[in-house]
Amino acid sequence: MSTARKIAWGFGPPLVVAALLAWCAPPWPDDWDGLGFLASIEHFDMDKFAPHPPGYPVYVALLRLASVVLRDPMRAAIGVSVASGLAVFVCARSVAVPLGEITAVLIAAAVIGNPLAWRAFTAVGSEAPALALLAIAYWAIQTDRLAVAAIATGLALGVRLSWAPLVLVFPMLLPTRTRTRAISIMTLSVLLWLVPLLAIVGPSRLIRIYGVHFAGHAQRWGGTALGDPRPFGRLALLGRDLFVDGFGVDSDFVGVALAVMLVIVTVMIAQRGGRQQVGVIAALCAPYALWILIGQNLREQPRHALPLVVIAIAVFGACAARARILRLAIPLLGLMLTRTAMDAYDRRTTPPAGEQLVSFLRSHPGDVVFGGASIRFVSRTDMTARALPAETRGDVEIALTRMDHLPERVLVTSEISETDSAPVIAELCRPPRIDRKRACLQLRALQ
């Protein structure tokens, strides 16, 4: 291969990946967590959910560094996500090179091109940089760069602390003689973000915030097994998050064809003995899988399954290559990328309900709306006085008595309790595949 061709092959695919990720990124955050991350660029305040606990200090630092260059919070957040996707692609391709250059590119494309990963790499959220740091750590382990791997895993905990059950098994991938040193370096890496976090927030205040947050997460709004104790139901949700949201299986033609191909390729891999180390990797992933099964909101947030999806796809691709059935696996990849493109189009063209609410208020200047988390999208605009927080109809009625002038029309979102009898005047909807939390947000008129 000539030098020019080597350069083109080395830099071409990553540049294409970066361009596609940037092009697919929507101009708005998908949820109010994203709004909090954007707000944290200007002012870090966990009491005001900027960002929400546990604080994501490394992610906020990355956002602030990106904002110095890109000058806009939204562009900075997307820049971090796109760069993370690029890092995952490069690391995945590098690790898979022993299987062949073309095979490595295909596996890397599958790793970042599945629906759940592509969404993370084109959204405001901490999953993308967390995944990038884990990919860097795995690449470093495979290339005997122990210090890099330990630093990356320590920083990953500062991006997504909830991934700890997965991050903390990474030292198990190292030779026994190096684990103590790796754990020591990882501890120092954790201190790089933990000490500044404690200095900024204060130890006692941080403990209080964590206590309130985790109590609410476990019992009220976190969707954990305490509030949804049905084990088989939660297993079904985990399966949905992995295969429907992760791989792209669904009830339409693309989804059914993908499911059929997935079964065929899996059977072929099993018959041809391409399952090396699958059991070991499954055992390493088991603590994290158990954690999200019990302690995360599987019903509304498929993103918690993201690392499991990425690892499963990487292993699946390597097994297909070893079983010499890549020709059969390529159509499967094509179907999965088709699903990803469909989801990306929906996310790019259909704003989240909160963003649709902003547009609705702009076209109805005499209205005032009361709502829950959805109205936080209005806080980014000049209409904050027309979107007020409330939980019940009683909250709304009390707020109205305190107004100097009543609005032309009082609206409430379906997040407000005791308002079911009010007529629905609009439904702000998004396809369920890209918004499991709330496919439709209803607007109701109280007067």
Rounded Cα gap, residues 29 and 352, in angstroms: 8
pLDDT score at 274: 64
Rounded Cα gap, residues 305 and 239, in angstroms: 9
Average pLDDT of every residue of the chain: 91
pLDDT score at 1: 59
Of 157-166, 277-286, 305-314, 419-428, minimum mean pLDDT range: 277-286
φ and ψ at 424, to 5 degrees? -85, 125
Consecutive H or E run containing 221: none
Consecutive H or E run containing 161: none
Q: Are strands 424-429 and 440-445 parallel, antiparallel or unpaired?
A: antiparallel
pLDDT score at 50: 87
pTM, two decimal places? 0.93
At residue 18, does pLDDT exceed 90?
yes
Consecutive H or E run containing 98: none
pLDDT, tens digit, 9 for 90 and up, residues 358-408: 999 999 998 999 998 888 899 888 898 899 999 998 988 898 888 888 888
Question: Which residues on neighbouring strands pair with residue 412, listed in sequence order?
Answer: 370, 444
Contact 323, 272 (CB under 8 A): yes
Binned at pLDDT 50, 70 and 90, residue 215 comes out as confident
Rounded Cα gap, residues 398 and 401, in angstroms: 5
Task: Determine what percent of the chain is predicted with pLDDT higher than 90.
Answer: 67
State the CB neighbour count (10 A cutoff) for residue 382. 8
pLDDT, tens digit, 9 for 90 and up, residues 192-214: 999 999 999 999 998 998 888 87
Q: In what order do the strands lie in the sheet with 367-371?
A: 387-389, 367-371, 409-413, 440-445, 424-429
pLDDT score at 6: 78
* Eight-state DSSP code of residue 217: I
At residue 227, does pLDDT exceed 70?
yes
At residue 176, does pLDDT exceed 90?
no
For the segment 146-150, the average pLDDT, to the nearest whole number, is: 95
Consecutive H or E run containing 258: helix 253-272
pLDDT score at 225: 81
Rounded Cα gap, residues 147 and 130, in angstroms: 18
At residue 350, does pLDDT exceed 90?
yes
At residue 69, does pLDDT exceed 70?
yes
Sign of the Cα pseudo-torsion (105, 111, 114, 119, in order): negative
pLDDT, tens digit, 9 for 90 and up, residues 258-300: 999 999 999 998 887 766 678 778 888 999 999 999 999 899 8
Rounded Cα gap, residues 343 and 205, in angstroms: 41
**Token code pair at residue 182:** 């790796």
3-state secondary structure of 445: strand
For the segment 228-239, the average pLDDT, to the nearest whole number, is: 90
At residue 323, does pLDDT exceed 90?
no
Helix (H), strand (E) counts: the chain: 18, 5
Residue among 264, 431, 337, 425 at smallest CA distance from 110: 337
State yes or no: cis peptide before 331, omega within 30 of 0: no
3-state secondary structure of 387: strand
